Structure 1
Amino acid sequence: MLLWNTVVLAQPVGNGTGSKAGTSSTAAPSLSEQERSERLKQLEAASERLYEHMQQGNAPEALADMDTLIGALEGVSFKGLTSVEGIHALAETIMDTKETLVKAEVQPEEWALSSARLRLAVNSLLHPDKALWQQYYKVMADNLQQMNRARAGGKPAEVRKAFQALQGHYEVIRPAAIIRRPESDINRFESWLSYAGRLSDERTWDEAALKEAISQGGGVLKGLFGRRGDEPVFLPVTGFDSPWYWSGLIGLWIVLALTYTGIRKYRASQTVTAVREQRREEDTRRYRL
């Protein structure tokens, strides 16, 4: 609760977008812009060190980094950095990571996941234009492709596996996405994720519904990452589910292109030859005495 109060009390007074805790008389005095900038740099540096030490399973160093990170938050205003939902997401991520740290037994997978989520969240807060979590777009688009290929091949187990990978990647970036993206985009993606999760269950296999859901997923994923609608996610398989069809069709296109090029080259050669012969006859007549 101490961490939660620290983050909430750092809200600017009169925010008007959420909790009124910022008006509390216990709020820390506001920092100057220079002090605020220094604190935010300390926050980022601490999150990066924490990530490295948790990935290595170094508990003493990680606990020290967590104390530094929490100390850097005290009295910091998040005005202009994120929404109230974003602040909540950041606070929850910090608390989850701290709870993971204080457990008696080190669990490498849990440590790796929680530290990655926290690092991405802090990075998203401080680097809106080039945030690290945006790199997951290609990864999650690949998961969607894998779902589509497995669906086209009639392989429910592989569809489920690809969906779980997509869901796992979203869990890593979720706090970072909430910090940066509108709530409507987050809700839309999570609604789609829930729907696709039900359809990808092998016990309720519905290939037609799943095909439609995956098609919709491309647009929803773009919305989550703030991508333009004309940016391709993957080449949809429309009308034919067999990859051999597309391989054959592409091969046919290549053959046709080469044939067409060969015909044009032959015709051009014939034209050049004819012109040369005509010019030879003219030159012969011209220089004949």
Structure 2
Amino acid sequence: MGDVRRIIMVRLCGFALAVFLLGTGFFSGGAVTVLADHVKPDPQAKKWARQADRVEGKVAEGRWAEARKELNQLAESFSKADLSRSSLTVEGVRALSDTLVEADRQLNRVMVRPEELAEVTQRVHLAFDALAQPHQPLWHRFEGSFRSRIGEVRSGLKKNRPEAVRRSGRKLIEHYEQIRPALYVVRSPTTVEKTNALMSFLQKELQKEELEPGTVESAVDQWERMISPLFYGPEEEVLAIGEEGKPPLIPALLSVGGVIAGVLSYVSWRKYRYSRRTALDRG
């Protein structure tokens, strides 16, 4: 096993380094903008999306054993794929891997939690669907939900109803959590980190004992301006709206950290899959 782990680590590190250098413009001499167009669907990705769809469907029907079997087949196929040849970023691979691991854990609970399981398997479906059809993905259906929650937050602020603001704000964040893995598949890591930062900021504001209406409204306004470019526009528009004024070195360091975290996460996932298969074989 030691040699296998080293081989996987070397391959993933090489893949991660290549992605990072391309993303920072090292080979081209300038910055490279990663758009949704960088993801080109292939027959394998479409097959994974269909499997993810079936997993979500079986979970919705309460057919846990069948969903577990379908998920195992999807995870097995994904774990054997040569992802170094794909157009996915390291963070995209990590996002897909994380959804599979979480779905597997939820399905193998002693007592299944239907609502949590439904949310997790939806994230799996949205992420793999984004890989299969990046230009007309299912996660785009959340646009209306985002705008509705924004309207509710504004209404609560106007009527001075802090609990209503918190409730609608949390729902908005929950919607974002559902599409976040898909965003990592079709958007650049830098863009997703900008949206992550905004959602984290909003969450912290909602957790305060006393809301600051102006701050909450400002965060919601910023998110509303991000929606159209995030869903349909170029990376530059999203980055411009989410610009935090950090020194140029900080984004680069964050990118390196993301690459390292992605590599470690994916290696851990491969080890997790191996241990699961070993346990099943012994059983």
TM-score of the superposed pair, with normalisation by structure 1: 0.64
Cα 1:101–1:123 change in 2 (3 A) is: same
Corresponding position: 1:136 with 2:145 = no
- Where do 1:260-271 residues align within 5 Å? none
Q: CA deviation at 1:68?
A: 1.5
Q: CA deviation at 1:9?
A: 9.2
Alignment match of 2:19 (pick from 17, 20, 40): 17
Tell me what 2:96 maps to: 90
Cα 1:121–1:150 change in 2 (3 A) is: same
Contact 1:192–1:220, Cα closer than 8 Å, also in 2: no
Cα 1:13–1:209 change in 2 (3 A) is: closer
Alignment match of 1:217 (pick from 218, 223, 235): 223
Corresponding position: 1:47 with 2:49 = no
Contact 1:121–1:176, Cα closer than 8 Å, also in 2: yes
The CA RMSD over aligned residues, in Å, is: 2.8
Alignment match of 2:108 (pick from 83, 89, 102): 102
Distance in 1 (CA, whole Å) between partners of 2:11 and 2:168 is 40
Cα 1:9–1:125 change in 2 (3 A) is: farther
Alignment match of 1:77 (pick from 66, 71, 82): 82
Distance in 2 (CA, whole Å) between partners of 1:52 and 1:202 is 38
Instruction: Summarize deviations over 1:160-184 as a string: whole Å, max 9, x none.
Output: 0110110111111110111111222
Distance in 1 (CA, whole Å) between partners of 2:175 and 2:71 is 24
TM-score of the superposed pair, with normalisation by structure 2: 0.65
* 3-state SS of paired residue (1:130): coil
Instruction: Summarize deviations over 1:205-225 as a string: whole Å, max 9, x none.
Output: 222222322222222334432
Contact 2:45–2:128, Cα closer than 8 Å, also in 1: no
Distance in 2 (CA, whole Å) between partners of 1:205 and 1:81 is 43
Distance in 1 (CA, whole Å) between partners of 2:230 and 2:133 is 17
Cα 1:155–1:64 change in 2 (3 A) is: same
Distance in 1 (CA, whole Å) between partners of 2:72 and 2:95 is 19
Distance in 1 (CA, whole Å) between partners of 2:199 and 2:112 is 31
Distance in 1 (CA, whole Å) between partners of 2:228 and 2:44 is 33
Alignment match of 1:198 (pick from 204, 208, 220): 204
Given residue 64 of structure 2, which amino acid in structure 1 is its aligned partner?
A
Distance in 2 (CA, whole Å) between partners of 1:12 and 1:130 is 32
Identical amino acids, percent of aligned pairs? 20
Q: CA deviation at 1:134?
A: 1.2
Distance in 1 (CA, whole Å) between partners of 2:140 and 2:53 is 17
Given residue 17 of structure 1, which amino acid in structure 2 is its aligned partner?
V
Gaps of 5+ in 2: 21-40, 238-283
Distance in 2 (CA, whole Å) between partners of 1:8 and 1:151 is 50
Larger Rg over CA atoms: 1
Given residue 134 of structure 2, which amino acid in structure 1 is its aligned partner?
P
Cα 1:72–1:154 change in 2 (3 A) is: same
Contact 1:12–1:77, Cα closer than 8 Å, also in 2: no
Contact 2:45–2:131, Cα closer than 8 Å, also in 1: no
- Where do 1:146-225 residues align within 5 Å? 146-201=152-207, 203-225=209-231
- Which sits farther off after the overlay, 81-90 or 205-214? 205-214
State the structure with bigger RCO (CA 8 A, min sep 6), 1 or 2: 2
Q: CA deviation at 1:89?
A: 0.4
Instruction: Summarize deviations over 1:222-253 as a string: whole Å, max 9, x none.
Output: 44324477xxxxxxxxxxxxxxxxxxxxxxxx
Tell me what 2:280 maps to: none
Number of aligned positions between the proteins: 208
Q: CA deviation at 1:37?
A: 4.7
Q: CA deviation at 1:125?
A: 0.9
Cα 1:214–1:14 change in 2 (3 A) is: closer
Cα 1:88–1:202 change in 2 (3 A) is: closer
Tell me what 2:133 maps to: 127
Q: CA deviation at 1:97?
A: 0.5
Tell me what 1:68 maps to: 73
